[in-house]
Amino acid sequence: MTGSPGPTESSSRRVGILAICCMSLFIVGLDNTIVNVALPSIGREFHATVSGLQWTVDAYTLVVASLLMLSGSTADRLGRRRVFQVGLLLFTLGSLACSLAPSLSWLIAFRMMQAVGGSMLNPVALSIIRNTFHDPRERAQAIGIWGAVFGISMALGPVAGGLLVQSVGWRSIFWVNIPVGLAAVALTAYFVPESRGSRSRRPDPIGQLLIMAALASLTYGIIEGPRGGWASPLILSLFLLALASLALLVAHERRMNDPLIEMRFFASAPFSGITVIAIVSFAGLAGFLFLNTLYLQDVRHLSALGAGLDTLPMPATMVLVAPLSGRLVGRSGARPSLLLGGAGIAVGTFLLSGLRASTSFPHLFLAYVVFGVGIGLVNTPLATTAVSGMPASQAGAASAVASTSRQVGQSLGVAVTGAIAVGVLGGGSIGAGFADATHPAWLVLTACGAFVVALGLVTTTPWANRTARRTAERFGLEDVPVPTAPVSGAPAPSGPPVP
């Protein structure tokens, strides 16, 4: 490792580095919710169908999910500061391009450009923080602050997005990223020393291509299925391609000395379970944001700001509950948070399964708060259980899989809920029947919450813990270091975890 700040590095410099990493997380977290608020306005200007709006969200999350692990290993090999700056520049330029997009197709393309940069920010920023804060307690506090910034950005997104869309227009939501991104690039050059991993994994281009093929074909098939016909040759071919790509990926990664995804992790029941829980719970979050935004603005005819204010109880509750979940996990383990969190997701979405254009706002408020409690409780065990029982040398690879799972969940949540609504509507446009058309989609999200509860029970049993110990023993004997670990030897942050 070269150029790393030593233990005597000044505290002001460490604070500066943490602030820069927080800036990158802030714009990425803000982008998660601010774009959802703008979807109805984007749809009206470009005369977009529901599937077009789905791609506006999923083009970003798919690319991020595909490139997260590659970005982390590339930063360890080429230099973390260098890759971090490239990511900031790409994200900033992508944001500028999105604000100038002349059509929906160009907007989707520019969102993909944004995502390439976004994939280089969070995993690399975590590596920078780990390289800067050597004391485990200070590192845990830094990660906690960093995670809290994500929660704040999630809470600000609906209101800031609504205010910008209503006063200036939807294009202005992308302008917010530009000054923050440029400032972060300049400050990184001044504050952040260059560093590399002590051992870098070799590139795995075949594994990378198979991941992209599996995710893209599955998501495309789900989004376009209602319009193209579920039994059409194109859609069936896409699903077969996704299945074949996944099978080839598993076979390929098992043969690799430096795999992109370490398949042996999945012998641990807690790790396998938490990977699925991450996919399912974040599918619930993304599906909630997508359906709720379109409902409030296109069915209830609220302004973008009104919709943002109405949605605010969900992320605000999520931010308030996350520290409580951290303490609960520390005192009683992951099971209580997973069970209560899954129940909150299930109950919150079930309350919306009978949505009407005349549903009272107190009813909506209750559903938003309950759902926010559920997501807030589930998040912390996602961060801790993913590395539970793993030796420190494998914490980074395990965390990377968990982070990728969250992004995959977001893509699938938007794809599935949108496809269900379009299928019920019988067309691609949002009309008066949209509220009724979402009923099956909300029930699917209710099932996601119930599934979290079931997996929370299974993956926290003595049998599951024994599988985790056996997996850790195998890695402990081999002890192959993976230098991308965001946190090693530090307690999990109590703030909202990062995507």
Q: Does a structural domain hold residue 4?
A: no
Q: Taking the mean position of all CA atoms in its chain, how far away is CA 337?
A: 19
Pair (251, 267) in one structural domain: no
Distance CA 113, CA 123 (A): 18
Asked whether the CA dihedral 463, 464, 465, 469 is positive or negative, the reply is: positive
Q: Where are the alpha helices (DSSP H) in 351-432?
A: 361-385, 395-425
Q: Give the residue from 348, 320, 324, 355 showing the smallest Cα distance to 438.
A: 355
Q: Does a structural domain hold residue 498?
A: no
Provide the CATH number for the domain around residue 187.
Answer: 1.20.1250.20
Note whether 201 and 258 are within 8 A (CB): yes
| For residues 348-371, average pLDDT | 94
| For residues 464-482, average pLDDT | 65
Q: How confident is the model at residue 386, as a pLDDT?
A: 59
Q: Which residues in 139-174 are b (16+ Cβ under 10 Å) and which e?
A: bbbbbbbbbbbbbbbbbbbbbbbbbbbbeeebbbbb
244 contact partners, CB below 8 Å, separation of at least 6: none
Q: Does a structural domain hold residue 40?
A: yes
Pair (424, 353) in one structural domain: yes
Q: Does a structural domain hold residue 488?
A: no
- Give 488's pLDDT tier (boundaries 50, 70, 90): very low
Q: Taking the mean position of all CA atoms in its chain, how far away is CA 320?
A: 19
Note whether 284 and 448 are within 8 A (CB): yes
Distance CA 332, CA 347 (A): 23
pLDDT at 334 exceeding the cut of 50:
yes
Picking from 255, 275, 290, the residue at the C-terminal end of a domain is 255
| For residues 447-472, average pLDDT | 89
Most confident of 126-130, 229-233, 450-454: 450-454
pLDDT at 374 exceeding the cut of 90:
yes
pLDDT at 199 exceeding the cut of 70:
no
- Give 367's pLDDT tier (boundaries 50, 70, 90): very high
Q: Does a structural domain hold residue 22?
A: yes
Q: Does a structural domain hold residue 349?
A: yes
**What is the domain count for the chain?**
2
Q: How confident is the model at residue 376, as a pLDDT?
A: 87
CA distances from 104 to 89, 139, 226 (A): 23, 42, 20
Q: Does a structural domain hold residue 469?
A: yes
- Give 140's pLDDT tier (boundaries 50, 70, 90): low
Distance CA 325, CA 332 (A): 10
Q: How confident is the model at residue 479, as a pLDDT?
A: 41
Note whether 248 and 212 are within 8 A (CB): no
Q: Give the residue from 278, 283, 238 showing the smallest Cα distance to 411.
A: 283
- Give 25's pLDDT tier (boundaries 50, 70, 90): confident
Distance CA 109, CA 330 (A): 43
Pair (122, 212) in one structural domain: no
Pair (73, 221) in one structural domain: no
Pair (307, 220) in one structural domain: no
Q: How confident is the model at residue 478, as a pLDDT?
A: 45
Give percent of the chain with pLDDT exceeding 90: 36
Determine the structural domain holding residue 245 and report its residue range.
205-255
373 contact partners, CB below 8 Å, separation of at least 6: 317, 318, 321, 340, 341, 344, 348
Angle (nearest 5°) at CA 382 between 15 and 65: 80
For the beta carbon of residue 436, count every other beta carbon within 10 angstroms: 16
List the single range of 59-73, 101-115, 150-164, 390-404 with lowest mean pLDDT: 390-404
- In this predicted model, what pLDDT tens digit does every residue of 41-62 receive, in sequence order? 999 999 988 888 989 998 998 8
494 contact partners, CB below 8 Å, separation of at least 6: 144, 322, 323, 325, 326, 327, 330, 380
Pair (143, 232) in one structural domain: no
Pair (463, 324) in one structural domain: yes
List the single range of 106-115, 130-139, 454-463, 486-495 with lowest mean pLDDT: 486-495
For the beta carbon of residue 112, count every other beta carbon within 10 angstroms: 16
By residue count, the chain amounts to: 499
Q: How confident is the model at residue 266, as a pLDDT?
A: 86
Q: How confident is the model at residue 70, as a pLDDT?
A: 82
Note whether 21 and 125 are within 8 A (CB): yes
Pair (151, 171) in one structural domain: yes
pLDDT at 440 exceeding the cut of 90:
yes
List the single range of 3-17, 316-330, 363-377 with lowest mean pLDDT: 3-17
| For residues 467-489, average pLDDT | 53
- Give 432's pLDDT tier (boundaries 50, 70, 90): low
How many helices (H) does the chain have, and how many strands (E)?
Answer: 19, 0
Q: Does a structural domain hold residue 497?
A: no
Pair (219, 277) in one structural domain: no
Which comes out higher in pLDDT, residue 249 or 398?
A: 249
Which comes out higher in pLDDT, residue 486 or 289?
A: 289
What do you get for the CA distance between the two ends of the chain, in Å? 26
Q: How confident is the model at residue 429, as a pLDDT?
A: 61
Place of tokens 């077009």: 52
Pair (341, 238) in one structural domain: no
Pair (226, 359) in one structural domain: no
Q: How confident is the model at residue 359, as a pLDDT?
A: 92
Pair (140, 240) in one structural domain: no
Q: How confident is the model at residue 71, as a pLDDT?
A: 82
